[in-house]
A and B are shown apart, each in its own frame.
Chain A
Amino acid sequence: MPLRFSFVVIWIYLVARVPAAVPPNSNPPGLEIAFHRTVQPFLETYCVSCHGKETTKADLDLSRYTNVARVTTGFTHWELVLERLEAGDMPSEKAKHFPSDPLRAEVVAWIRAFRQAEATKNAGDPGPVLARRLSNAEYDYTIRDLTGVDIRPTKEFPVDPANQAGFDNSGESLAMSPALFKKYLGAARTVSEHLVLQPAGFAFAPHPAVVDTDRDRYSVQRIIDFYRRQPTDYAEYFLAAWRFKHRAALGRDSASLEAIAVEAKVSPRYLATIWATLNGPEADVGPIATLQARWLALPVAGPTAESTAAARAQCAQLRDFVVGLRDKIIPDVTNLTAPPMQQGSQVFVLWKDRRMAENRRRYDVTALQVEGQPVAQPAAVKTTAPTVAAAGKRPVNPNAATSATYKMALARIRVADPDLTVPADPAERIRYEAEFARFAAVFPDAFYISERARVYADPEKEKSLGGRLLSAGLHSMTGFFRDDAPLSDLILDEPGRRELDRLWREFDYAASVPQRMHISFVWFERTDSRYMTDAEFDPYRPEDKSVTSQEKVRRLAEIYLAKAQKNNASETVQQAIREHFEIAAANILQVERDRIAAEPSHLRALQDFAARAYRRPLTSQERDGLVAFYRESRDTNGLDHEEAMRDCLASVLMSPHFCYRIDLVDPTPRTIPSSAPLAGTQPLSDYALASRLSYFLWSSLPDAELLAHAAAGDLHEPKVIAAQSRRLLTDDRIRNFTTEFGGNWLDFRRFEEINTVDRERFPAFTNELRAAMFAEPLHFLIDLVRADRPVLNLLYADYTFVNPVLAQHYGMPAVTGPPDAWVRVEHADRFARGGLLPMAVFLTANSPGLRTSPVKRGHWVVSRLLGERIPPPPPTVAALPPDESKMGDLTLRDALARHREDKSCASCHARIDSFGLVFEGFGPVGERREKDLGDRPVDTRASFPGGQERTGVTGLREFLHDRRESDFLDNLCRKLAAYALGRTLLPSDDGLIRDMRAKLATNQQRFSALVETIVTSPQFLTKRVSSVSATLPAHARD
């Protein structure tokens, strides 16, 4: 070995052993000497003729590096120099002189020694991590967590540029411009349009909620969703009761009725009622007696599934019996009628709605058929039958109603029914009637009414008018009506009742329902109805918002009633009129009062929102400032309360406190344990750490637990931050991390937008398959991270994850279920899958459409997985044919073989092609194949660098395991560290990478080991407050 080389080796040894002996921020003198003696002459002889001041090929000017200090400032260039020298492709074959191998080795060794010195000198340097705006992905995830709705305001934003490490979460590449700022304004306004004010606080709708119809949509959907979540099927209760009765036989001896209810997902309250009804004092007459008899006849439970199935079927029949009988005894509510009031007047319709609502747990005693007597028909049949007028005379029947009412009555005509027959004896009959009353009280005819067509019209005609959710059953008018008392009274527990009440109150509030109903009322009564066309009604116009004032509602009530009285309206009708206006006035007043009372709660909610958005508690000035801005919006800008709230919200989202990530240092002096503090750095505050950790692992804001640790001031402690990172890794939000880190590291983040595949040649490539391909690595990564599996599974796993369409594409056994049914497939190597390498997404993304591309696929493996930097091809290289089937006798393999013949091509392609040729058994959409598109058999053999011959993906895995595993692990560590720190790595991070590798090795290669090493490192916990290399001598800084 040359003397100088061994000198350098000894020096390295010394440096590595005794770091403290080397003064910080200085270079070992040996390094400088060796530079001037060996490296600089080398540059002048072999390099600067092409890479100098006159000729600067590839923009690389090596002539400026005249001392070690300058090399420090340009270390990224020197990394490239090192790679090229090691690869042997520089000096290029066109050079006039070539260095001897030993000399080349000396220079290489020097560069490594230099890097080692750099690494040690500033070990733990947090590096330049500047204030930066949220990336588009971070903005979207943060908005989702802040509002609960995945609004995705950055949909129309330009794509964020990536930094050198390939990630878009860095201040190195994220910038702000006026054009982007305007988009931020638009995004803030969009989010504010989703705001829904409530009696206490506010929420966000999944769609903009400014127009009345959108407010209706939001509020109605919430109530409907609540209804649909409730267990209201009698059959489920009968079955649960049966399970309880036979709990011993079913192996649930000690289970309580309540526990059985919870398991069966039914209401414990109502199950208790059902149980008491079925097992209570024996009824000997009436419907409950019948029910009890049938209940006793249910099969006994056995150990087999068949007995439960039989019981289930019979419980369904029991339910049908109950529902069928119940339907026959529902009380009728005859339409009110009082000309000249119109049949469809809100007065009548809402009156009818109220009566029907009261009847849900009552029954019609006249429906019972007395033995021996003819079946009594509903009174309404007679009273509503239209009378035939005598010639020239007006109809005598004052209650002559519309044909609709008569038709409704006709529909209730009764036939003889044993279930409804009661004895003639009055004393006996009373017992029956009591039983029917009990039956009706336990089994309402409906627990809730979710939709209504016009309640006063011919039901046959109205059958086709479905979808009128929560409608009051009016014609044309805006109107909603709540009818769900049985749900509250029988099924819901106290929290459930409160929630349902709150949903209806919030509906009234958000959509101004009482006001709009009254305005509709006035419109209808003046036009369709013509009741209010007399002059006295002129002050009441639907366009005039003041018509909903308490005074005007009361005065209208008076004259409306007066007119009805003048027209001989019955007492019932008069009462209905009074009721109508009282209720309307009260509901309107309630909303108005709620509005006033809510204002302080909205401002408080706004302050809470801002604190969450800013990811830290607000100062008192900030809290006051928000209120002051609100007042300015009201008083100076003349906005109403809701508009002002939207503007306040938008201002919070436009604030740099929200849309910028600025890591502030801890104001209290403290040091990072376990490492000597680097000059010019300070520990980050706990709140800054909370954000740094959550944006690392969730790409979103910290949750309450993280913020609690920040408040307690212990988040920076290694045990705490490590434990928190483990918690975040298992949280559902880790999917954000796998998408952003995985998607950018492995270059498939925007795969869902690609359209290179020729869908006529590959009809299997639908949007669904594309989405499934995109999701496969994400599912793999989510599983790996949440279950903390060894990271080498990425290469060697024999399992993967598929959904139905991907399973079909891979030729795996069919997966049943919807597109989002993902299953783990073991022994995936049976189908040539397993781990990242053979995933269809990468094979497809790296194919130009009508043929495979071993070059692109190989390049993906060596650059993305192994971290090699391959320079781009020279511009004059000929392109390969785009369509494999049109290549004649020449296979791709043959075409690529030419790469190896030409020396200037071989220098790169020898490092790439083999890694791609092994994938030839997969076609342009990642499908398995025996023949290529030109119908030639595929050949998956490859000669790897260093002379190894391997076949297929299995061969590639063996090769990686043999020779390149360390490179893969190093690359993974470097990528993860760059992503976590939000910057490209420096030589001073070498120590961190070493620590990560070491921790991996002692923790069975688990992913969490990598994360814990990062979050407890000085790089993560501290921040540069002045330039770390400020102590460089002045002449060295250029």
Chain B
Amino acid sequence: MPAINQNSPAALRYQISRRTFLRGTGVVMALPWLESLPVWGAPAAPATPAAPAPYPQRFAAVFMGNGINSQHWWAKGAGAEMELGKTLKPLEPFRTKLNVISGLYNRAATGVGIHPGMTGNLLSGLPLTKGAVLHGGVSMDQILASRLGHETTQPSLILGCEQPITGYHETNFSMAYSSHISWENADSPVPMEVYPSLAFDSLFENRGSRRTQSILDRVKEDAASLNRQVSAADHAKLDEYLNSVREVEKRVDRMRSDQQKAANNARNRGRPMVTMNRPDNGLPEDIREHMRLMCDIVALAFQTDKTRIATLLLCRDLSGLFYPFLGVRKAHHSASHDDQSADYESIARYYVGHLAYLAGRLEAMPEGDGTVLDHTCLMYLSNMWSGTKHDNSKVPLLTVGGFGGTLATGRILDYTDKGDENRKLCSLYLSLMDRAGVSLPRFGDADARLAGI
């Protein structure tokens, strides 16, 4: 094979940055929103008449499988005086930004057998199909990604800590439904990344726009060589093509150069910058570090506006993770079969701890008059209330963050006794999507918003 042309524009441009990343020097990013005016992109407009948010809204779905220990999952009061049960204690510093929402459910996930049938449609609300051909519905995070994702380098970020399993469960649902909650359409899940180093690379190497730029470079060469062969009259049409290439190039480039501008601006004014080292290749030995790195990546992606939509599966449904550091011998799924035990409570609390960690990272970054957390909605949920009884007649759900002032926080909302028509998860999703400026007449099994949200 012929040697790569070392002097091609693409090669020169990227050789340096690629080698730098490979040596793991990490990324130094300026924070675009430090300035009070937006540096690039059009911020998403909220749908409610709350104070308009000049900063983009971010949304993350954080998943833990197999339910919680109901004994210790409770909250009383409101706002800064809110009292939290043992499992929710890690969120104490964020009480005023927290909503504890109970009683919501997904009808299509009930009465279909345990595990995969309860999980795959958690974010879509539509019935799942058994057997060899997967079919369900598009998930709400992907709706957001398809409407809002073009404004960022990456439309959405899907991360997990366990590889997908795709065999058949005894209920004849594919285990793919246990492994994925983000679906880009009714038939295909969005691929998830399990390796922190690879997730980091694809986000912070601008891989998406670099690939597009390479393609554009190549076709420009083709067009230029064609132009030399054709008659003068044909030039005009090829010029139409070339102008279109250049226009698109400019837009792709703008994101990167804006970022550079922001970095220069920040440096010139001596403002703080955030740094993160590139995670090592391979998988972290300790699951605590694995989850922490994934939270770091989500936080950094939000802070630097690489993406505004994320899904983080801290574990899978039917999870096989172990927690020796909690003194628990059983793996996650086995432990969930004794959900009232102290062991399982400590597991659930450990996960809430990671939510608190992520919230803390976002809270530590000022943005405008508030913090990144204020412009975010972290939605934490599980596919069941009780892993012992495999009861998903309601699911545990938390939101942290004010979603750009469009979501009231510091509240405890219990829909358990409000009637089945008034406690749909999909109603909550419709409301959240509204707040992000994506207004749909119906979603999943709901055509009404969630009252009181």
Question: Could you list which residues of chain A lie within 8 angstroms of chain B, going by C-beta atoms?
Answer: 128, 130-133, 171, 175-178, 180-182, 185, 188, 207-208, 210-214, 216-217, 220, 451, 453-454, 464-469, 471, 474-479, 516, 519-520, 523, 526-528, 533, 541-546, 603, 624-625, 627-629, 631-633, 635-639, 643, 647, 650-651, 654-657, 660, 662, 664, 1023-1026
In the complex, B245 has a CB within 8 A of chain A: yes
The contact of A632 among B10, B237, B248, by CB within 8 Å, is: B10
CB distance from B274 to the nearest CB of A (A): 23
CB distance from A538 to the nearest CB of B (A): 9
Q: B1-44, CB under 8 A of A: which get 1 and which 0?
A: 11011001011001100100100000000000000000000000
Residues on A with beta carbons closer than 8 Å to the beta carbon of B212: 185
The complex places the Cα of A418 from the Cα of B162 at a distance, in Å, of 57
Q: B127-166, CB under 8 A of A: which get 1 and which 0?
A: 0001111100000000000000000000000000111111
A214/B188 in contact, CB under 8 A: yes
The contact of B1 among A171, A627, A1023, by CB within 8 Å, is: A627
Q: B232-271, CB under 8 A of A: which get 1 and which 0?
A: 1110111011011101100100000000000000000000
B191/A632 in contact, CB under 8 A: no
Q: B375-415, CB under 8 A of A: which get 1 and which 0?
A: 00000000000000000000000000000000000000000
Q: Knowing A542-B162, A629-B214 touch, does A476 contact B318 (C-beta < 8 A)?
A: yes
The complex places the Cα of A353 from the Cα of B218 at a distance, in Å, of 51
Q: Knowing A210-B191, A651-B215, A654-B219 touch, does A132 contact B237 (C-beta < 8 A)?
A: yes
10 A-B pairs closest in CB distance: A467-B131, A527-B320, A178-B247, A181-B244, A131-B234, A131-B237, A469-B132, A477-B167, A655-B222, A631-B4
B166/A216 in contact, CB under 8 A: yes
The complex places the Cα of A516 from the Cα of B164 at a distance, in Å, of 9
In the complex, B168 has a CB within 8 A of chain A: yes
CB distance from A54 to the nearest CB of B (A): 34
A211/B11 in contact, CB under 8 A: no
In the complex, B364 has a CB within 8 A of chain A: no
B244/A177 in contact, CB under 8 A: yes
A175/B248 in contact, CB under 8 A: no
CB distance from A860 to the nearest CB of B (A): 33
Q: Knowing A476-B167, A631-B1, A657-B226 touch, does A211 contact B211 (C-beta < 8 A)?
A: no
For the A-B complex, the count of residue pairs with Cβ-Cβ distances under 8 Å equals 216
Residues on A with beta carbons closer than 8 Å to the beta carbon of B282: 544, 546
Number of interface residues of B (CB under 8 A): 78
The complex places the Cα of A130 from the Cα of B176 at a distance, in Å, of 51
CB-based nearest B residue for A465? B172
Residues on B with beta carbons closer than 8 Å to the beta carbon of A178: 243-244, 247-248, 251
CB-based nearest A residue for B215? A651
A468/B237 in contact, CB under 8 A: no
CB distance from A588 to the nearest CB of B (A): 15
Residues on B with beta carbons closer than 8 Å to the beta carbon of A655: 218-219, 222
The complex places the Cα of A225 from the Cα of B174 at a distance, in Å, of 21
A632/B11 in contact, CB under 8 A: yes
The complex places the Cα of A654 from the Cα of B282 at a distance, in Å, of 36
B172/A213 in contact, CB under 8 A: no
Q: B216-228, CB under 8 A of A: which get 1 and which 0?
A: 1011011100100
B14/A636 in contact, CB under 8 A: yes
The contact of A217 among B8, B134, B169, B229, by CB within 8 Å, is: B134
In the complex, B338 has a CB within 8 A of chain A: no
Question: Could you list which residues of chain B lie within 8 angstroms of chain A, going by C-beta atoms?
Answer: 1-2, 4-5, 8, 10-11, 14-15, 18, 21, 130-134, 161-170, 172, 174-176, 187-191, 194-195, 201, 205, 207, 210-212, 214-216, 218-219, 221-223, 226, 229-234, 236-238, 240-241, 243-245, 247-248, 251, 282-283, 290, 318, 320, 322, 331, 333-334
Residues on B with beta carbons closer than 8 Å to the beta carbon of A465: 168, 170, 172
CB-based nearest A residue for B319? A527
CB-based nearest A residue for B13? A636
B188/A211 in contact, CB under 8 A: yes
Residues on B with beta carbons closer than 8 Å to the beta carbon of A177: 240, 244
The complex places the Cα of A175 from the Cα of B244 at a distance, in Å, of 10
Q: Knowing A130-B236, A662-B234 touch, does A478 contact B167 (C-beta < 8 A)?
A: yes
B4/A212 in contact, CB under 8 A: no
B214/A468 in contact, CB under 8 A: no
Extra A-B contacts (8), CB below 8 Å, given A636-B10, A637-B18: A171-B237, A177-B244, A211-B189, A211-B190, A465-B168, A542-B163, A632-B8, A636-B4
The complex places the Cα of A469 from the Cα of B243 at a distance, in Å, of 51
The complex places the Cα of A995 from the Cα of B269 at a distance, in Å, of 79
The contact of B188 among A175, A208, A545, by CB within 8 Å, is: A208
The contact of B194 among A468, A526, A543, by CB within 8 Å, is: A543
CB distance from B420 to the nearest CB of A (A): 28
The complex places the Cα of A185 from the Cα of B212 at a distance, in Å, of 8
CB-based nearest A residue for B5? A628
Residues on A with beta carbons closer than 8 Å to the beta carbon of B8: 628, 632
Q: Knowing A543-B162, A654-B219 touch, does A185 contact B248 (C-beta < 8 A)?
A: yes
CB distance from A673 to the nearest CB of B (A): 24
CB distance from B414 to the nearest CB of A (A): 34
CB distance from A691 to the nearest CB of B (A): 15
Residues on B with beta carbons closer than 8 Å to the beta carbon of A477: 165, 167, 175
CB-based nearest B residue for A461? B170
Q: Knowing A465-B172, A647-B214, A660-B241 touch, does A128 contact B233 (C-beta < 8 A)?
A: yes
Residues on B with beta carbons closer than 8 Å to the beta carbon of A468: 131-132, 168, 172
The complex places the Cα of A970 from the Cα of B257 at a distance, in Å, of 60
Residues on A with beta carbons closer than 8 Å to the beta carbon of B188: 207-208, 210-211, 213-214
The contact of A662 among B214, B218, B219, B226, by CB within 8 Å, is: B226
The complex places the Cα of A707 from the Cα of B130 at a distance, in Å, of 48
CB-based nearest A residue for B191? A211
A638/B18 in contact, CB under 8 A: yes
CB distance from B131 to the nearest CB of A (A): 3
Ordered by A's residue number, 15 sampled pairs between the chains whose C-beta atoms are within 8 Å are A131-B237, A175-B240, A176-B244, A178-B247, A211-B188, A476-B318, A637-B214, A643-B211, A654-B216, A655-B219, A655-B222, A656-B219, A656-B222, A656-B226, A1023-B231
CB distance from A781 to the nearest CB of B (A): 31
B167/A474 in contact, CB under 8 A: yes
Q: Knowing A180-B244, A220-B132 touch, does A213 contact B166 (C-beta < 8 A)?
A: yes
CB-based nearest A residue for B8? A632
Q: Knowing A208-B188, A638-B18 touch, does A1024 contact B165 (C-beta < 8 A)?
A: no
The complex places the Cα of A829 from the Cα of B333 at a distance, in Å, of 73
A632/B214 in contact, CB under 8 A: yes
The complex places the Cα of A211 from the Cα of B71 at a distance, in Å, of 39
Q: Knowing A210-B191, A633-B214, A656-B223 touch, does A467 contact B207 (C-beta < 8 A)?
A: no
CB distance from A222 to the nearest CB of B (A): 13
Residues on B with beta carbons closer than 8 Å to the beta carbon of A629: 214, 218
B230/A662 in contact, CB under 8 A: yes
The complex places the Cα of A628 from the Cα of B4 at a distance, in Å, of 6
Residues on A with beta carbons closer than 8 Å to the beta carbon of B248: 178, 181-182, 185
The contact of B334 among A181, A527, A627, by CB within 8 Å, is: A527
Q: Knowing A131-B238, A627-B2 touch, does A213 contact B176 (C-beta < 8 A)?
A: yes
Q: Knowing A636-B10, A662-B234 touch, does A217 contact B132 (C-beta < 8 A)?
A: yes
Residues on B with beta carbons closer than 8 Å to the beta carbon of A542: 162-163, 320
Residues on B with beta carbons closer than 8 Å to the beta carbon of A175: 240
The complex places the Cα of A213 from the Cα of B166 at a distance, in Å, of 7
Residues on B with beta carbons closer than 8 Å to the beta carbon of A171: 237
CB-based nearest B residue for A656? B223
The complex places the Cα of A464 from the Cα of B21 at a distance, in Å, of 52
The complex places the Cα of A654 from the Cα of B244 at a distance, in Å, of 12
Residues on A with beta carbons closer than 8 Å to the beta carbon of B230: 131, 662, 664
The complex places the Cα of A465 from the Cα of B165 at a distance, in Å, of 18
Residues on A with beta carbons closer than 8 Å to the beta carbon of B175: 476-478
Residues on B with beta carbons closer than 8 Å to the beta carbon of A635: 4
CB-based nearest B residue for A133? B241
The complex places the Cα of A1025 from the Cα of B233 at a distance, in Å, of 8
B1/A176 in contact, CB under 8 A: no
CB distance from A519 to the nearest CB of B (A): 6
